[in-house]
């Protein structure tokens, strides 16, 4: 038998792991450029041999992620090593690798239009057009990071052996591939196809993002507005929010089309999405008359990070600018989901207890970890 040069084998293995870790960072960058990964939401992994995977860590922004931050996890017993804790969805990734032995890469995102489509209470999305002719299975709902969610994903993948992408109900997407390019392309493809579905079946074609209204922050005990010419009625809104929420230091006012529609027509924004429950809260009450326009009747809750004003969009709160902007993005996605669910006649809101668990868990763990 030929003697093995163990040091050379070890060196080659280290180089291979290093290149795969760098590849994960490249995947994250490409997904971010396509608007499919934001902040710390979602996760990416690559198979490392038969029984291991490399996976992005928990609570770190993708633009800050370095190769040595990526964790190595045993997909059989979930033991791991690394400087940071692996993503909370490592159970889902492990279950998917076991269900699909040919899979080499997995991308899980909370991308806007596919996630909105996942909350419509439909088991399979059938999308037909000149550009799209596909069927997207939807895995049953379970709380994020749980063994039950991993089981639901494995069950869905086993039932639909021909599909390399699925939706996680009220949560996001999962794309599997033999190459990094395949996973990225599938994520982009799903987003375009799901936006087509929402336009065609739900009569909902709304851009997601922040349309700047009147932002402010607290500085030395006084309110500083980002714009010089702020209407008096808007100033009263900011003043009342800061008065009722002394824990808040920043307000981002979003006047996107979806936010305006909900502020005009709804009395409550329902928790249709996991990340809404985590970051915003269990639901948002909306004034049902126009008193809110002059600040006379605002519904400001100590446990909800946004305030709707009729016909004026949503004021999103945070203890720093990034947290307020995150709340604005999530609230806008939730508004698109509510409009789509209302117009299609489908949609299943999350339960109160599940929302409370997710919100408490996010505040105690992920928000603190991300800031650290």
Q: How confident is the model at residue 5 (pLDDT cuts 50, 70, 90)?
A: very low
Which pLDDT score is estimated for 289? 57
The number of CA neighbours under 13 Å toward the Cβ of 186 is 24
Domain count across the chain: 2
235 and 285 share one domain: yes
Which pLDDT score is estimated for 169? 97
Which pLDDT score is estimated for 277? 92
329 and 187 share one domain: no
Which pLDDT score is estimated for 295? 43
194 and 263 share one domain: no
Answer whether residue 207 is part of any domain.
no
pLDDT for 191 beyond 50: yes
Which pLDDT score is estimated for 369? 55
DSSP annotation of 219: E
Q: Which residues pair with 223 in a beta bridge?
A: 218
Q: How confident is the model at residue 371 (pLDDT cuts 50, 70, 90)?
A: low
Among residues 57, 36, 30, which one has the least CA distance to residue 45?
57
Answer whether residue 209 is part of any domain.
no
Range of the domain at 225: 216-371
Answer whether residue 79 is part of any domain.
yes
* Residue 19: other Cβ atoms inside 10 A: 10
35 and 148 share one domain: yes
- The counts of H helices and E strands in the chain are 11, 16
Q: How confident is the model at residue 4 (pLDDT cuts 50, 70, 90)?
A: very low
191 and 243 share one domain: no
Among residues 336, 370, 324, 334, which one has the least CA distance to residue 355?
334
Q: How confident is the model at residue 45 (pLDDT cuts 50, 70, 90)?
A: very high
User: What are the backbone angles phi and psi of residue 224, rounded to the nearest 5°?
Assistant: -115, 120
Which pLDDT score is estimated for 372? 55
Supply 208's token pair.
């997601």
What are 240-285's pLDDT values in tens digits? 999 999 999 999 999 999 999 999 999 999 999 999 999 898 889 9
pLDDT for 58 beyond 50: yes
| Cα(93)–Cα(153) distance, integer angstroms | 9
Answer whether residue 1 is part of any domain.
no
Which pLDDT score is estimated for 44? 93
Average pLDDT taken over every residue of the chain: 88
Q: What is the radius of gyration, based on Cα positions, of the chain?
A: 22
> Residue 19 is part of a domain; what is its CATH number?
3.40.225.10
pLDDT for 7 beyond 50: no
What average pLDDT does this structure show over 154-159? 97
Give percent above pLDDT 70 in the chain.
91
* Residue 120: other Cβ atoms inside 10 A: 24
95 and 226 share one domain: no
Supply 57's token pair.
């860590």
pLDDT for 22 beyond 80: yes
DSSP annotation of 85: P
Which pLDDT score is estimated for 157? 97
What are 200-229's pLDDT values in tens digits? 999 999 999 999 999 999 999 999 999 889
Q: How confident is the model at residue 370 (pLDDT cuts 50, 70, 90)?
A: low
Q: How confident is the model at residue 368 (pLDDT cuts 50, 70, 90)?
A: low
198 and 221 share one domain: no
300 and 185 share one domain: no
Answer whether residue 331 is part of any domain.
yes
What average pLDDT does this structure show over 46-73? 87
Q: How confident is the model at residue 367 (pLDDT cuts 50, 70, 90)?
A: low
What are 311-352's pLDDT values in tens digits? 999 999 999 999 999 999 999 999 999 999 999 988 889 999
Answer whether residue 211 is part of any domain.
no
Answer whether residue 15 is part of any domain.
yes
Answer whether residue 210 is part of any domain.
no
What are 91-127's pLDDT values in tens digits? 999 999 999 999 999 999 999 999 999 999 999 999 8
Residue 10, H or E segment: helix 6-33
pLDDT for 134 beyond 70: yes
155 and 126 share one domain: yes
Strand pairing report for 133-139 and 165-168: parallel
Taken in order 224, 230, 236, 237, the sign of the CA dihedral is: negative
- Are the C-beta atoms of residues 90 and 80 closer than 8 Å to each other? yes
pLDDT for 132 beyond 90: no
């Amino acid at each position: 038998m030929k003697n093995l040069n163990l040091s050379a084998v070890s060196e080659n293995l280290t180089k291979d792991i290093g290149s795969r870790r760098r590849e994960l960072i490249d995947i994250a960058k490409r997904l971010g450029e396509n608007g499919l990964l934001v902040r710390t939401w979602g996760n990416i992994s690559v198979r490392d041999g038969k029984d291991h995977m490399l996976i992005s860590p928990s609570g770190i922004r993708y633009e800050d992620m370095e190769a040595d931050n990526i964790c190595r996890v045993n997909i059989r017993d979930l033991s791991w090593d690394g400087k940071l804790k692996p993503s909370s969805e490592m159970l889902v990734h492990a279950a998917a690798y076991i269900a699909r032995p040919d899979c080499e890469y997995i991308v899980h995102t909370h991308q806007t239009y596919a996630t909105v489509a996942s909350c419509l209470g439909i088991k399979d999305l059938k999308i037909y057009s000149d550009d799209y002719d596909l069927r997207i299975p939807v895995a049953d709902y379970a709380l994020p990071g749980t063994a039950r969610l991993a089981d639901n994903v494995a069950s869905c993948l086993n039932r639909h052996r021909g599909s390399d992408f699925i939706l996680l109900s009220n949560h996001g997407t999962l794309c599997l591939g033999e190459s990094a390019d395949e996973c990225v392309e599938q994520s982009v493809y799903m987003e375009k196809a799901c936006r087509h579905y929402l336009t065609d079946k739900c009569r909902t074609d709304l851009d997601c993002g922040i349309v700047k209204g009147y932002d402010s922050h607290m500085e030395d005990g006084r309110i500083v507005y980002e714009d010089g010419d702020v209407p008096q009625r808007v100033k009263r809104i900011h003043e009342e929010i800061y008065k009722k929420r002394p824990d808040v230091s920043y307000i981002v006012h979003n006047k996107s089309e979806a936010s305006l529609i909900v502020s005009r027509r709804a009395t409550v924004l329902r928790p249709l999405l996991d990340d809404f429950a985590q970051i915003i809260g269990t639901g948002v009450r909306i004034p049902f008359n126009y008193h809110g326009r002059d600040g006379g009747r605002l519904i400001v809750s100590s446990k909800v990070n946004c305030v709707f004003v009729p016909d004026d969009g949503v004021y999103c709160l945070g203890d720093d600018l990034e947290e307020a902007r995150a709340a604005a993005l999530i609230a806008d996605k939730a508004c698109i989901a509510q409009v789509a669910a209302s117009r299609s006649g489908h949609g299943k809101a999350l339960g109160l207890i599940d929302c409370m668990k997710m919100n408490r868990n996010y505040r105690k763990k992920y928000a603190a970890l991300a800031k650290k």
